[in-house]
Chain A
Amino acid sequence: GQQLNQSPQSMFIQEGEDVSMNCTSSSIFNTWLWYKQDPGEGPVLLIALYKAGELTSNGRLTAQFGITRKDSFLNISASIPSDVGIYFCAGHFGNEKLTFGTGTRLTIIP
């Protein structure tokens, strides 16, 4: 099946820095979702995107649906310690199942 590649695989940043990560696909999607998974927990939905070019914010998080429909981006501004975790993108098209990305692990250096 198709695969979503997330970049970078891991990030080490200092508190207060901005974070950017992306997700790319070999095929198009109609919906992009971004999740965050804390250790020992299930993924939590952060942002949902439904339209090419759409830019949506949720507090310090901003995500964009790429105009080619094959990619999506997530930015976190002014990172704080609780931002630590693994971020997953997920794409959906038609009646197909939700496809998850490979994940980006965010670590904040004290």
Chain B
Amino acid sequence: SAVISQKPSRDICQRGTSLTIQCQVDSQVTMMFWYRQQPGQSLTLIATANQGSEATYESGFVIDKFPISRPNLTFSTLTVSNMSPEDSSIYLCSVPGQGAVEQFFGPGTRLTVL
């Protein structure tokens, strides 16, 4: 499986600011996924990031709030904009495995908004 790293691993931010989370993969992948995991909850897909095209957002998530970049096949960023305490969550990136259905996850970024 791919080796995935995320930066930062955690951060504490002030309301109204923005944070950009980086996801790096050790191999080229066509798709990268960004998830949100609110405290004590399951994983919710935010968007799918494809290289060379705009990300595809799930219902309830918009580009203005969660802009995504995908400059190449091994890297993506997710920005959480104009943060509020409700944005406090773990943000996870993932990539598909060889079977295309399985996904492998990074270690996550734990965000706390004060």
Contact = CB atoms under 8 A, between A and B. Distances in A.
Interface residues of B, number: 23
A41 B101 contact: no
Interface in A56-110: 88, 92, 97-98, 100-103
B34 to A, nearest CB: 12
Interface string B45-76: 10010000000001100000000000000000
B45 A98 contact: yes
B1 interface: yes
SS class, residues of chain B in contact with chain A: loop
A98 B108 contact: no
B105 A44 contact: yes
B92 interface: yes
A97 B107 contact: no
B92 A101 contact: no
Interface of A: 1, 31, 33, 35, 40-45, 48, 88, 92, 97-98, 100-103
B86 interface: no
| Top-9 shortest CB links A-B | A42-B105, A100-B43, A100-B42, A31-B101, A42-B108, A92-B101, A43-B105, A42-B107, A42-B92
Given A33-B101, A33-B102, A98-B101, A41 B108 contact: yes
Contacts of A103: 41-42
B105 A97 contact: no
Contacts of A43: 43, 92, 105
Nearest to A103: B42
20 contacts: A31-B101, A35-B105, A41-B107, A41-B108, A42-B4, A42-B105, A42-B107, A43-B92, A45-B97, A45-B102, A48-B101, A88-B43, A92-B101, A97-B45, A97-B48, A97-B58, A98-B103, A100-B42, A100-B43, A103-B42
B99 A48 contact: yes
A64 B11 CA distance: 39
A87 B1 CA distance: 19
